[in-house]
A and B are shown apart, each in its own frame.
Chain A
């Protein structure tokens, strides 16, 4: 294919191929668009709530005069949930909270895990063994249970929920980073660099890390969805003793007593989570294709 003039340097063959591979994965593109919409929602609620006419962007606005859930209507496009909360605005507000919480868990959790994973592979030997045994121990308690236990110690609030989930999540990243790093270390060009006399640290940070990180980053993007699922599940079982908190799991619990008469109070907040989690997953799959050399070359 002819190279486009001017941008030749940037649009080199490989980058163009990456883009092509990504774009040819239609679900991934859809996922990307949806994720961007969620991010836009969160940013607008955070920085410019007036754009959407939100008066009280960081909390739910109950209406005790008419608390019974109302079906969708012109006034309330997604209906209302108990106690008289407009679901549409509630969901718009909740996206910011859930996305923010996910990022607040994934970034530090992954950062910590990546550092520990790299230390484990870099030093190796008994340090590696020890660190991996520690991840085993953290991993031995199912994450929701561990979060509950940590929540008991720290008191159940948002901060402790974030800390609890970071404690739950870092071992996953430590292990994953370790496994990809080990894989990369086996590759031949690393041998070549070693033969050329590069120091260990240089090999680690100049050669291994850049090749090991992309899959970990893809994993992070996918985990934004997983963590959101866990957060909402925790909120659902009552981890957060709060009221009027715009969080999707909590929002779902509000309508639970009306399950017979007002299913939308549960379905709409739920669907918003499903769409996000599926979108990040599809996006992640698309990115995975891009970094997978076999996928790049075949049709």
Chain B
């Protein structure tokens, strides 16, 4: 898999919200790619359409969102096609209820993309979790839906593993010989045990002795013999058996396994006492803990892209720092790509590979982070960076002029009312996006036409 391959490809995306107060043009021709394995930072003032962009990739738009044009390819699947086609068909008589029908179909079509290829961490941890469901179940649900095979394998492996097996595995771990460990597991047909072993081995908050004891005690967890065929079936086919009672019993066993896996994962994310936490309800957890739960849910099934919509802005500063460290670690350990949305440029500088700057529903500048930060091209980016005194966490503010009214966005370059370099053509025509070298792109008349100034 080459690094240049994109997981998400957005072309000329135009989206409007239809409301009683008017039509808000929230996205006005977004062009953006997210490469596999990269961290793309997306920045911009609040209201510039960052969340809308993230939601569009997930296909989780509200019913009053009309896709007027463009495409959003997620791993080759055009998410917005049905919505775009509905908008075309509606010929100016856009009806949210009809759009909702299309969205319902989209939810179905995207079932095997969401939570498998792409997942999302939402802005507001306090309202994201279901208040009447134990958080462990909310995490495990992703696996119960998409990866029962993993859960079944884990369960069967624990039933099959002997104390000798675990001792052998522990030996390989001590010697840091992962390849041999995997070989051993394969030869003993204990697939599914490595997931659990590693979850303990990688824990930072546990003493080595505790880790070893826990790993050793993974063995000999006998499973009800009645369930064994059902579990094997689930492990083989990634589906629950269809016989009614058996299905319920196997599911019940796998739900328990799901809680276990959720607790392990939360442990990896540095949650204290994860075995207790998984049985709790959201209102018993603090904001930071809830956000960890949400992150765990988004990550547990190893998606290829995780969209993080301001994952830290609702949290207080120390928690923010913890969550950021956590995300940095996760970035090291997984191959996933991240779309990190924030209005905090210094934060993005810390975490991103590339940065996209949005203004009024358009990506005005995008490129490798050093290139964008050290040599900002777009006047808006320049003003933003001037407004950042240090690279400490800090909100975007204090730039001249007002955010445009999206019901009636300015013609030409939408930044022209606030731009110190505005030229006559800026008021007339939308600037094209040009590459100013090494993938650094900018949409501004100052650079159009081969970068020559008019």
Interface residues of A (CB under 8 A from B): 17, 20-21, 24, 296-299
Residue of B nearest to A296 (CB): B20
Nearest CB of B to A15, in Å: 13
A-B residue pairs, 5 tightest by C-beta: A299-B64, A299-B96, A299-B18, A299-B19, A297-B19
Nearest CB of A to B422, in Å: 28
Which of B18, B21, B64, B96 makes the CB contact (< 8 A) with A17? B21
In the complex, what distance in Å separates the CA atom of A24 from the CA atom of B95?
Answer: 13
Interface of A is mostly: helix
In the complex, what distance in Å separates the CA atom of A20 from the CA atom of B21?
Answer: 10
14 more CB-based (< 8 A) A-B contacts, given A297-B20, A298-B19, A298-B64 = A17-B20, A17-B21, A20-B20, A21-B20, A24-B20, A296-B20, A297-B19, A297-B21, A298-B20, A299-B18, A299-B19, A299-B20, A299-B64, A299-B96
Q: Chain B residues near A24 (CB, 8 Å)?
A: 20
Q: Chain A residues near B96 (CB, 8 Å)?
A: 299
Q: Chain B residues near A298 (CB, 8 Å)?
A: 19-20, 64
Q: Chain A residues near B21 (CB, 8 Å)?
A: 17, 297
How many of B's residues come within 8 Å of A, CB to CB? 6
Q: Chain A residues near B18 (CB, 8 Å)?
A: 299
Residue of B nearest to A17 (CB): B20
Number of A-B residue pairs at CB separation under 8 A: 17
Q: Chain A residues near B20 (CB, 8 Å)?
A: 17, 20-21, 24, 296-299
Nearest CB of A to B70, in Å: 22
Interface residues of B (CB under 8 A from A): 18-21, 64, 96
Nearest CB of B to A1, in Å: 8
Nearest CB of A to B68, in Å: 16
Could you say which of A20, A296, A299 has the most chain B C-beta atoms within 10 Å of its C-beta?
A299
Residue of A nearest to B22 (CB): A1
In the complex, what distance in Å separates the CA atom of A21 from the CA atom of B96?
Answer: 15
Q: Chain A residues near B19 (CB, 8 Å)?
A: 297-299
**A-B pairs with beta carbons under 8 Å apart, 8 shown:** A17-B20, A20-B20, A297-B19, A297-B21, A298-B19, A298-B20, A299-B64, A299-B96
In the complex, what distance in Å separates the CA atom of A297 from the CA atom of B20?
Answer: 6
Nearest CB of A to B146, in Å: 32
Q: Chain A residues near B64 (CB, 8 Å)?
A: 298-299
In the complex, what distance in Å separates the CA atom of A298 from the CA atom of B18?
Answer: 8
Nearest CB of A to B133, in Å: 24
Q: Chain B residues near A17 (CB, 8 Å)?
A: 20-21
In the complex, what distance in Å separates the CA atom of A17 from the CA atom of B64?
Answer: 18
In the complex, what distance in Å separates the CA atom of A121 from the CA atom of B343?
Answer: 42
Could you say which of A296, A297, A298 has the most chain B C-beta atoms within 10 Å of its C-beta?
A298
In the complex, what distance in Å separates the CA atom of A297 from the CA atom of B22?
Answer: 9
Residue of A nearest to B99 (CB): A299
Residue of A nearest to B21 (CB): A297
In the complex, what distance in Å separates the CA atom of A24 from the CA atom of B20?
Answer: 10
Residue of A nearest to B17 (CB): A299
Nearest CB of B to A234, in Å: 41
Q: Chain B residues near A21 (CB, 8 Å)?
A: 20
Nearest CB of A to B349, in Å: 35
Residue of B nearest to A295 (CB): B20
Residue of B nearest to A13 (CB): B21
Could you say which of B18, B20, B64, B96 has the most chain A C-beta atoms within 10 Å of its C-beta?
B20
In the complex, what distance in Å separates the CA atom of A20 from the CA atom of B20?
Answer: 8
In the complex, what distance in Å separates the CA atom of A298 from the CA atom of B20?
Answer: 6
In the complex, what distance in Å separates the CA atom of A240 from the CA atom of B21?
Answer: 53
Q: Chain B residues near A297 (CB, 8 Å)?
A: 19-21
Nearest CB of B to A165, in Å: 38
In the complex, what distance in Å separates the CA atom of A15 from the CA atom of B284?
Answer: 43
Residue of A nearest to B97 (CB): A299
Nearest CB of B to A150, in Å: 41
Nearest CB of A to B47, in Å: 15
Residue of B nearest to A24 (CB): B20
In the complex, what distance in Å separates the CA atom of A3 from the CA atom of B20?
Answer: 15
Nearest CB of A to B251, in Å: 37
Nearest CB of B to A21, in Å: 7
Nearest CB of A to B6, in Å: 34
Nearest CB of A to B14, in Å: 18
Nearest CB of B to A141, in Å: 33
Q: Chain B residues near A299 (CB, 8 Å)?
A: 18-20, 64, 96
Nearest CB of A to B100, in Å: 11
Residue of B nearest to A1 (CB): B22
Nearest CB of B to A6, in Å: 23
Residue of B nearest to A21 (CB): B20
Residue of A nearest to B94 (CB): A299
Residue of B nearest to A20 (CB): B20
In the complex, what distance in Å separates the CA atom of A298 from the CA atom of B64?
Answer: 8
Nearest CB of A to B326, in Å: 33
In the complex, what distance in Å separates the CA atom of A62 from the CA atom of B415?
Answer: 81
In the complex, what distance in Å separates the CA atom of A24 from the CA atom of B19?
Answer: 13
Residue of A nearest to B18 (CB): A299
Nearest CB of B to A213, in Å: 24
In the complex, what distance in Å separates the CA atom of A21 from the CA atom of B20?
Answer: 8
Could you say which of B18, B19, B21, B96 has the most chain A C-beta atoms within 10 Å of its C-beta?
B21
In the complex, what distance in Å separates the CA atom of A17 from the CA atom of B21?
Answer: 8
In the complex, what distance in Å separates the CA atom of A7 from the CA atom of B19?
Answer: 24
Nearest CB of B to A2, in Å: 13
In the complex, what distance in Å separates the CA atom of A21 from the CA atom of B19?
Answer: 11
In the complex, what distance in Å separates the CA atom of A197 from the CA atom of B173?
Answer: 68
In the complex, what distance in Å separates the CA atom of A298 from the CA atom of B19?
Answer: 5
In the complex, what distance in Å separates the CA atom of A297 from the CA atom of B19?
Answer: 6
